[in-house]
Amino acid sequence: MTAAQMISLARKTLVMDHPFWGALALRLKIVEDPTCGTAWTDSVSLGYDPNFVLSLPQIEVLGTVAHEVGHCILNHCFRRGNRDPYTWNCACDYALNHELILAGCTLPDGALLRDDFTGRSAEWIYDRLIDEQPTDEEGSGTPQDGNEDGNEDGNEDGNEDGNDDGSEDGSEDGSEDGSEDGSEDGDESKDNESSQDADDADSTTTGGGGGTQQPKNPTVGEVRDAPVDDGDEEAAADLEQEWKEAVIDAATLVGKLDGLDGGTQRVVDDALTVKVDWRHQLHQFAQEAATEDYSWAHMDERFIDDDIFVPTLHSEGMGHLVTVIDTSGSVDRVTLSQYQVEARTIVETCNPSRVTIIYCDYMVQHVDTYEAGDPIVLAPHGGGWTDFAPPFEWVEEHLHERPAALVYLTDLQPCGGGFPEREPDYPVLWAATGHRTDAPFGEVIKVE
């Protein structure tokens, strides 16, 4: 069979065996693209490298087609914004691939998979990949595609597709998606990286805007931005809405006929969930909780021309912020490490004059206090069952001032304990990392 016939057969098989995915695969125009290395989608077309397709067994061709369709279902082509294209591509793959496997698909070798990214949004994963990037002193600026112990996603020295020196352009395949023979431009020069990057910009980036980086390890395919004119937000919104309606129609039809498997249902739920940037919500919360007072350093400009000097209501930032970190047994090691990242984000966003960090499981295990400008060093204590009341009791007993706000990083699972009986008289924000999003008081935001 030719590569085109293999793609066509994969779509037909999806229609028969995975009708939800098959119905949506038929929406994409098939484009042969020998320069792309593997495959790509921009929500309108599905491009493929015939050499890559011919190197795969048919079952993995089917998985590749489903993979590209999945990016469209999850609106990945509309959500990149100003993010780095390569890192965004990796984040989208991590967000999608586990769900594809649950739905019964087989992906080619090199598919990006990490257990700690399961069930997370591409935006959430992207932020973690950025945090994992080595500094200039440590090496390349590309995100790590695997864990340090060399799992199937690979690392600098532990993956067969990686290279020993971790250089950005030195991988065997030299293409973003990791085809065996590499892209046309991938092998031309290892000595002129800046020239190489410019030459490969069309074939290695995942859409317009941002820079281009050569990956260390292969991915299944490429996410490109939707093909709309720059700044044409209305056209992009219309195209995105078309996909959402198509997802609803396919899910409704297949659900009535055969029902959706667990993996597919999760993809549908994620596709139809409104994505909210929790950091934006946090910023709004911080503004509302910020200390405000009349300041002579900031005059009301409306009266200055009349030589009348009136102080304005001004806020320099939040006052004393209390941040509680849930260290109970229901919070695993990976989530605890994520809490540390989020806690720093909270401090940077809220600009507090003082920060008190409380570590609590069923009791307050440890407390640290930092003044404005102090580096925040987190060292979690705990591991028992959960009770949400002790931090509020500690604040009431030990703080000699009313806190500007309390932010509680938690999975909101009160295992063995409960919530305070009385609502405090200061703002409370529950930054929820689990599936539960309800609390008896305060504001709850989903951290993703």
> 10-residue block means of pLDDT along the chain (448 residues)?
96 91 93 94 95 95 95 91 90 92 89 88 88 65 42 40 41 40 41 38 34 45 86 84 87 73 74 61 71 46 55 58 86 64 72 88 92 79 86 93 88 79 90 78 81
All CATH 3.40.50 domain ranges of the chain, comma separated, are 278-446
Measured CA to CA, the distance from residue 285 to residue 301 in angstroms comes to 27
Measured CA to CA, the distance from residue 42 to residue 420 in angstroms comes to 49
Tokens representing 229 are: 């004119």
- Residue 110 gets the label, from left (phi > 0), alpha (psi -120 to 50) or beta, of left
Measured CA to CA, the distance from residue 254 to residue 316 in angstroms comes to 55
Are the beta carbons of 224 and 42 closer than 8 angstroms? Answer: yes
Q: Cβ neighbours of residue 433 under 8 Å, at least 6 residues apart?
A: 331, 335, 338, 339, 342, 409, 410, 411, 447
> What is the CATH code for 278-446?
3.40.50
The predicted pLDDT at position 307 comes to 59
Three-state secondary structure string covering the chain: CCHHHHHHHHHHHHHHHCHHHHHHHCCCEEEECCCCCCEEECCCEEEECHHHHHCCCHHHHHHHHHHHHHHHHCCHHHCCCCCCHHHHHHHHHHHHHHHHHHCCCCCCCCCCCCHHHCCCCHHHHHHHHHHHCCCCCCCCCCCCCCCCCCCCCCCCCCCCCCCCCCCCCCCCCCCCCCCCCCCCCCCCCCCCHHHHHHHCHHHHCCCCCCCCCCCCCCCCCEECCCCCCCCCHHHHHHHHHHHHHHHHHHHHHHHHHCCCCHHHHHHHHHHHCCCCCHHHHHHHHHHHHCEEEEEEEEECHHHHCCCCCCEEEEEEECCEEEEEEECCCCCCHHHHHHHHHHHHHHHHHHCCCEEEEEEECCCEEEEEEEECCCCCCCCCCCCCCECCHHHHHHHHHHCCCCCCEEEEEECCCCCECCCCCCCCCCCEEEEECCCCCCCCCCEEEECC
Residue with tokens 């390569």: 86
pTM for the structure as a whole: 0.52
The predicted pLDDT at position 317 comes to 61
Q: Cβ neighbours of residue 178 under 8 Å, at least 6 residues apart?
A: 37, 38, 110, 161, 171, 215, 217, 218, 219
The predicted pLDDT at position 344 comes to 73
Residue type, 234: E
365-418 pLDDT, tens digit per residue, is 999 998 887 877 777 787 788 899 999 999 999 988 888 889 898 888 777 678
260-280 pLDDT, tens digit per residue, is 776 677 777 777 665 555 666
